[in-house]
Amino acid sequence: MLADGAIRSGKTVSMILSFLLWSLTTFQDKDFIIAGVTGGALRRNVLAPMFRILEAYGIPCDWKRTEAKLLIGSNNYHLFGADKDNAQDKLQGMTAAGAYADEAALFPRSFIDQMIGRCSVEGSKIFMNCNPNGAYHYIKTDFIDHAGEIGLYRLHFTMDDNLTLSPAIRKSYARSFQGVFYRQYILGEWVSAEGTVYPMWDDEANTYEEEDPRMYEGMRRFAAVDYGTANPCVFLDVRDDGNTFWIADEYYWDSAEKRRQKTDAEYADDLLQFLGGDRDVLVIVDPSAASFKTELRNRGFRIQDARNQVREGIATTAVLIGNRQVRAEKNRCPCLMKEIHGYVWDEKARLRGEERPLKERDHAMDALRYLCHTRTSRFRR
């Protein structure tokens, strides 16, 4: 059974309830699989509502944290994270009577295949839910498109299926996505991202000219950093008035073009000079840049790890660009302006069922994504 469709449409609660009631009334003393993308996502998205459901039905549950399993009735429900390519190894040798997979479209194909193969008890069933992904994703091409052949029952959800959402909330979610993400997350369509990543960017509406530096008075200041040694290193000087991110300036050092790599200390010197000596600036940095973050802290800078989820970050950035809540100083941000027009989806990855931007000339784009996804919320106005 597969439940797919729009976000916030009730898929997760419906599937958890169905899986629990089916497994508890059908089997005794059996093992089951419950999987999420990560352990944290599993606890947040599955176990939290599951415990409320069990409490509402008066069904006792014993959570064996150290063993990563739940004892419900006489059955054992084993908990797994499926985010690694070798995650399927955890399932080796297991015999299960059923499985529940949350956000299955984000699982490696190998885990899904292994999970299905483990459910060999007579009468076993697989329950999966997910938001739509690209048109070439294996859930679409190998499962949904062949539902009759493989015995798949598909439930397609829309936001109208969630009766707890008011019309105002549904409208707010609809405003929160644009382009391909609107079609996937709001309309629940399996469509692929093609062409430029930010087709909503407008060289007039998303830019400005700084006529007086006093225009930034009262705004918060950030520096968004995409750190690179062999690759280019980018700093963005950003002012935030609570509604719009004003990208006032950029720093762009391409080691290959300049034929010289800089050290962490040199980059820290450059950042301080770039910010006019102002250390009272929150610096948003890729979490993986450990040595550079240490250097900046030693210089007295405040650091925030960027939220580095690519798809979600692109979706957030696209909404802000479309709402004209990201604007770049047109005379001082030439590299950002150049990159944003050449920032495209990876066509070869799309045909493999993956959605990701082409990893070329994307360093200012990464810094922009770090800024938008880290420092905004869905209800930013």
User: For residues 7 and 159, what is the distance between their CA atoms, to the nearest angstrom?
Assistant: 7
Q: What is the pLDDT of residue 298?
A: 94
What's the CA gap between 147 and 313, in Å, rounded?
A: 32
Q: What is the reported pLDDT for 381?
A: 45
Predicted local confidence at residue 325, as pLDDT: 94
Q: Where are the domains of the chain?
A: 2-165, 207-374
Q: Which residues pair with 357 in a beta bridge?
A: 345
**C-alpha distances in angstroms, 196 versus 91, 181, 339, 340?**
39, 13, 11, 8
What does the alpha-carbon distance between residue 153 and residue 120 come to, in Å, rounded to a whole number? 19
Q: Taking a C-beta distance cutoff of 8 angstroms, is the pair 360, 292 a contact?
A: no
| Angle CA 247–251–254, to nearest 5 | 135
Q: What is the pLDDT along the chain (381 residues), one digit of tens a residue?
A: 999 999 999 999 999 999 999 999 999 999 999 999 999 999 999 999 999 999 999 999 999 999 999 999 999 999 999 987 788 888 988 999 999 999 999 999 999 999 999 999 999 999 999 999 888 899 999 999 999 999 999 999 999 899 999 999 888 888 888 888 888 989 999 988 788 899 999 999 999 999 898 999 999 999 999 998 888 999 999 999 999 999 999 999 998 888 889 999 999 999 999 999 999 999 999 989 999 999 999 999 999 999 998 988 999 999 999 999 999 999 999 999 999 999 998 888 888 878 888 888 899 999 999 999 999 865 454
Of 306, 301, 290, 324, the closest CA to residue 366 belongs to 306
Q: Residue 160's closest CA among 279, 264, 293, 9?
A: 9
CATH of domain 2-165: 3.40.50.300
DSSP string for residues in 248-261? EEEEEE-HHHHT-P
Q: For residues 147 and 167, what is the distance between their CA atoms, to the nearest angstrom?
A: 33
- Asked whether 342 and 336 are in contact (CB, 8 A), the reply is no
Q: Whole-model pTM?
A: 0.73
Looking at residue 94, its pLDDT comes to 93
Neighbours of 277 (CB within 10 A): 7
Cα 238 from Cα 220, distance rounded (Å) = 8
Q: DSSP letter at 33?
A: E
CB atoms within 10 A of CB 211: 7
Which one-letter DSSP state was computed for residue 139? I
Backbone angles phi, psi at 159, to 5 degrees: -60, -25
pLDDT of residue 379: 47
207-374 is classed CATH 3.30.420.280: yes
Angle in degrees, CA 172, 174, 179, rounded to 5: 140
Q: Concatenate the DSSP letters of all residues of 260-284 into one string.
A: -PPPHHHHHHHHHHHTTT---SEEE
C-alpha–C-alpha distance, residues 367 and 373, integer Å: 10
The neighbour count for residue 150, using CB atoms within 10 Å, is 11
